[in-house]
Amino acid sequence: MKLLLIEDEKELANSIIYYLTGNSFICEWAVDVHSALDKISTFEYDCILLDLMLPDGNGFAILNELKAQNKTEGIIIISAKEGLDIKIEGLQLGADDYLTKPFHLSELLARVQALIRRKNFNGNNTICFNEITVDVFGKIASVKGQPVMLTKTELQLLIYLIGNNNKVLPKNAIAEHLSGDMADMLVSHDFVYAHIKNLKKKLADAGCGEYIKTVYGLGYKWQ
Amino acid sequence: MKQKLLHKTLKLYIIFSVLVLLFTAPIFYFIADEIQLEEADEALLLRQHEFESILLPGFKQTDIAKWNGWNRDIKIEPANTLIKTSQFSTGNYLNIMDGDFEPYRVLKSPVIIDGAPYILFIKINLLKAEHMVYNIVMLYVAIIFFLLIGLFIISRWYLAKLWQPFQQLLLQLEHFEINNPVNIAYSSTNVDEFYRLNTVIGKLISRNIIIYNNQKEFVENAAHELQTPLAVMQAKLDNLIQADDISPALANGLTQLSNSITRLNHINKNLLLLSRIGNDTYIEQQEVDLAKVLNQQLAFVQEQIDAENITITSHLANAPLKANIALVEVCTGNLLTNAIKHNYNGGTIHVELIGNLLTVTNTGTTTELDSEKLFTRFTKINPASHGAGLGLAIVRKITGLYGWNLQYQYQNNLHVFSIRF
């Protein structure tokens, strides 16, 4: 999978590239509107991560250009601006998702994967990991072909864990991912433990290997 | 107890006029008495002069008895004691008509009739002292009565009208809010002081709006600028924890760091929100199904508090509401999370929505919270909580924006927050 990151903050760009590269993405980086447009017209990308405030202009210019060129890349806006009006404007201009800074890299990765799945209409809507298969649109998880009854939250957690394969996921990142729009109302992250425990048990009961590891003092990891 | 300006001045006027009248009444009495005596003396002298110049030259001793028989007030008496000059005196004499003793002014002067000394005795009726006092008192009562009516009418109608521009300004200032400024309508006035007041307040308000907007912009920009470094910190940390050889102590430190970043981010978001409420950002309004919003939020928080054994009960009737849905969600969300954060293990929360009244009741500290401070930003009532003290400030700002009535009460060891829409 090939990604283009358009972001002027070097340190942030480095971290994003480092994290995503570890999960089988090839990540290219453009620092401003000019170089971004250069790359877009030359190469094809699966997904574009777009910062709105760039040194030589507004990220919306890139959205307009993509539209003009009839490009169908998935676009996720990553911006410090968080007004609802800006989100709506970005989505209307053709962006597929909007992530407000600061965010967890695991969340960014999950969003990128979800976007690519949505863009891939030709069949590949399933996530496979060894004996586990998740039909994302059908919302069914199965182990060795046998369906496992998971709650909505557990399914969401499973997709998130598999997507962030081999990454340590802090409890607060998991809690925020599961809370979605309501993350501002989080008063405790303890409920994550209960969901992990339930998911572990259901997978184990279905004869699945132990992939969820507890990383002492840090969080959890799918391995 | 604060008094109205009109009542205060009216009271002062009344006290002053009554005092003046009370002090002047005796003076008035003495002056009137003096004038009466002077007038009486003059009349007596006139009669004496009349008698002496017209009647006396032809008067005979034999006429005396006859004269005294006909005249009541001018008599000629034998000179028992010798007087050389005229003498005035005051005394009570029987008034035959009334059968009563009354005060008289008396002039005794020596006359010579047929070579023998006699005394000419002239008396004139004076006002009775009690009559005079009675009349003066009646006069003063009438003056006080009309004065009071006059003062009352003047203060009620004229002064009230005169102070009208001031009252109007005051009323508008009472409802003025710097974060939601409306134009003050200054009534035209030809009173110099009111004109100056209007001008000064106009300047003060416009200057403060500018300062307020600058400050709001500053907070917004500062919070906004903080988001990028926060994003860098978060991303670096997300990568750092992927290392293989993290010791438990380091893991602990990294987790605390991560939680701090989350907190910082939360504070930052709230600051942005606080500075944006009332902006065009949240101008859009729609019908909000409050019960639905609350049910969703209750379901969300329910999951989080299972571990803490807090029981939530709710009674939600349908209450359609017209407002910005994002702000309504923040408002109810903050009240709910607040009720959880400041609760204890095994506590209760009750959410009730009846008509246009939403109440969130929760157990918590066993002392009443300072309702003055409670809604002020950065006031931490519970030092153990991780909040920055912005949640209730945001609630107050949103309720203020829509003119809803937000209240805190402490009843039967329960903290009750209510919003009347």
| pLDDT confidence band for A106 (50 / 70 / 90) | very high
| pLDDT confidence band for B177 (50 / 70 / 90) | confident
Query: Residue B384 above 70 pLDDT?
Result: no
Query: Residue B104 above 70 pLDDT?
Result: yes
Per DSSP (E only), the strands in B114-185 are 116-125
Higher pLDDT, A160 or B79: A160
| pLDDT confidence band for A123 (50 / 70 / 90) | low
Is A85 at the interface with chain B, CB within 8 A? yes
Range of the structural domain that residue B94 is part of: 5-147
Return the residue in B221, B225, B227, B228 with the most chain A beta carbons within 10 A, the one to mutate for interface testing.
B228
Query: What integer is the mean pLDDT of B161-189?
Result: 84
B351 forms beta bridges with B314, B360
Query: Residue B388 above 80 pLDDT?
Result: no
Query: What integer is the mean pLDDT of B82-106?
Result: 84
Is B260 at the interface with chain A, CB within 8 A? no
Query: Residue B213 above 70 pLDDT?
Result: yes
Is B265 at the interface with chain A, CB within 8 A? yes
In a domain, B356, yes or no: yes
Higher pLDDT, A137 or A202: A202
Residue type, B12: L
* Residue ranges per structural domain of chain A: 2-119, 126-222
For residue B386, the model assigns a pLDDT of: 63
Q: Is the pTM value of this prediction over 0.80?
A: no
Q: By CA distance, what is A178's nearest residue in B? A: B300
In a domain, B70, yes or no: yes
Cα separation, B111 vs B119, whole angstroms:
6
Query: What integer is the mean pLDDT of B114-136?
Result: 87
Is B310 at the interface with chain A, CB within 8 A? no
Q: What is the pLDDT of residues A138-182, one digit of tens each?
A: 888 999 989 999 999 999 999 999 999 999 999 999 999 999 888
| Cβ neighbours of B342 in A, within 8 Å | none
The minimal CB distance from A191 to the residues B242, B252, B303 is found for B303
Query: Residue B385 above 70 pLDDT?
Result: no
Alpha carbon of B177: minimum distance to chain A alpha carbons (Å) = 24
Contact status, residue B235 vs residue A51, Cβ threshold 8 Å: no
Dihedral of CA B24/B28/B30/B34: which sign?
A: positive
CATH classification of the domain holding B322:
3.30.565.10
Cα separation, A140 vs A154, whole angstroms:
11
Classify the phi-psi angles of A207: left when phi > 0, otherwise alpha if psi is within -120 to 50, otherwise beta: left
% of chain B with per-residue pLDDT over 70:
97
Dihedral of CA B223/B225/B231/B234: which sign?
A: negative
The minimal CB distance from A105 to the residues B239, B254, B266 is found for B239
In a domain, B123, yes or no: yes
| Cβ neighbours of A168 in B, within 8 Å | 241-242
| Cβ neighbours of A18 in B, within 8 Å | 239
Architecture of the structural domain at A126-222? Orthogonal Bundle (1.10)
CB spacing of B255 vs A194 below 8 angstroms: no
For residue B97, the model assigns a pLDDT of: 76
- Of B147, B163, B195, the last residue of a domain is B147
CB spacing of A15 vs B254 below 8 angstroms: no
Smallest CA-to-CA distance from B322 within B358, B288, B282, B279 is with B288
Q: What is the pLDDT of residues B19-69, one digit of tens each?
A: 998 899 889 889 998 999 999 999 999 999 998 888 888 888 888 888 888
CATH label, A2-119, candidates 2.60.120.920, 3.40.50.2300, 3.30.70.920, 3.30.980.20: 3.40.50.2300
Q: By CA distance, what is A53's nearest residue in B? A: B228
Is B325 at the interface with chain A, CB within 8 A? no
CB spacing of B235 vs A19 below 8 angstroms: yes
Residues in chain B: 421
Is A170 at the interface with chain B, CB within 8 A? yes
Is A19 at the interface with chain B, CB within 8 A? yes
Residues 6 or more apart in contact with residue B344 via CB below 8 angstroms: B363, B364
Cα separation, A142 vs A208, whole angstroms:
10
3-class SS at B110?
A: strand
Is A11 at the interface with chain B, CB within 8 A? yes
User: Could you say which DSSP state residue B100 is in?
Assistant: E
User: How many pairs of residues across A and B have Cβ atoms under 8 Å apart?
Assistant: 121
Q: What is the pLDDT of residues B391-413, one digit of tens each?
A: 899 999 899 888 899 999 998 88
Return the residue in A54, A101, A157 with the most chain B beta carbons within 10 A, the one to mutate for interface testing.
A101
Is A177 at the interface with chain B, CB within 8 A? no
CB spacing of A168 vs B330 below 8 angstroms: no
Lowest-pLDDT range of A161-165, B270-274, B332-336: B270-274
Count structural domains, chain B.
2
For residue B21, the model assigns a pLDDT of: 87
3-class SS at B355?
A: coil
The minimal CB distance from B251 to the residues A12, A179, A217 is found for A217
- Of B93, B127, B147, the last residue of a domain is B147
Q: How large is the ipTM? A: 0.91
CB spacing of B307 vs A103 below 8 angstroms: no
| Cβ neighbours of B324 in A, within 8 Å | none
For chain B, how are helix, strand and coil distributed in percent, rounded to 5? 55, 20, 25
